[in-house]
């Protein structure tokens, strides 16, 4: 059974390849949804997939790519939307 999360990542997370690597990791962990930059400098992610895969994916989000600095990660469980694939918006 799939789970779905809204994730907001803040810190030094824009202009460091965060969205690119989020797509790469989402595909690696079979996560569907999207990632986008927000005007406040954070990164917003909607992710859904197997609960165990989401745990691994969110653990990666807490670190991000090597150039990022994640100061805060907010996760909220949401209804499954039925996304196919993972994209940048």
37 tagged catalytic: yes
| Residues listed for the chain | 89
d(CA 16, CA 8): 16
Q: Which of 19, 62, 72, 89 is catalytic?
A: 19
User: Rounded to the nearest 5°, which phi and psi values hold at 77?
Assistant: -75, 140
Q: Which of 6, 15, 37, 72 is catalytic?
A: 37
Structure tokens at 8: 């907001």
Annotated catalytic residues are 19, 37
């Amino acid at each position: 059974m799939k789970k779905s999360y809204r994730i907001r990542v803040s810190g030094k997370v824009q202009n460091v390849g965060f969205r690119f690597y989020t797509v790469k990791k989402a595909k690696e962990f079979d996560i569907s949804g999207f990632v986008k930059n927000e005007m406040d400098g954070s990164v917003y992610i909607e992710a859904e997939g197997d609960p165990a895969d989401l745990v691994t994916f969110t653990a990666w989000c807490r670190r991000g790519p090597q150039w990022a600095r994640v100061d805060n990660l907010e996760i909220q469980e949401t209804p499954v939307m039925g996304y196919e694939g993972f994209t940048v918006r």
